Amino acid sequence: MGDTDRRYVLISPCRNEAEFIERTLDSVITQSERPAQWIIVDDGSTDGTADILAR
């Protein structure tokens, strides 16, 4: 695998992270090497996290 073939999958579990999830989203989106796939698992948030992720 060469340097240009560095692909990865990012898995982010979260629960009640409304205060921080936008910062996390922005951080991953602005990385120079973004994940090939990003799986975000919301474990029953009750604070609006799911609404932020849906946007």
Range of the domain at 12: 3-54
Q: Two tokens at 38?
A: 């990003």
What is the pTM for the complete model shown?
0.77
pLDDT at residue 11 tops 60: yes
What is the number of structural domains in the chain?
A: 1
pLDDT tens by residue, 29-49: 999 999 999 999 999 999 999
Per-residue model confidence (pLDDT) at position 5: 75
Spatial separation of the C-alpha atoms in residues 44 and 29, rounded to whole Å: 24
Q: Is the dihedral of CA 37, 29, 12, 49 positive or negative?
A: negative
Max CA-CA distance within the chain? 43
